[in-house]
A and B are shown apart, each in its own frame.
Chain A
Amino acid sequence: QKEVEQDPGPLSVPEGAIVSLNCTYSNSAFQYFMWYRQYSRKGPELLMYTYSSGNKEDGRFTAQVDKSSKYISLFIRDSQPSDSATYLCAMMSGGSNYKLTFGKGTLLTVNP
Chain B
Amino acid sequence: DQQVKQNSPSLSVQEGRISILNCDYTNSMFDYFLWYKKYPAEGPTFLISISSIKDKNEDGRFTVFLNKSAKHLSLHIVPSQPGDSAVYFCAASAQGSNYKLTFGKGTLLTVNP
A and B assemble together: no
Binding site for B on A (CB under 8 A): none
Residues in B lying within 8 Å of A, measured CB to CB: none
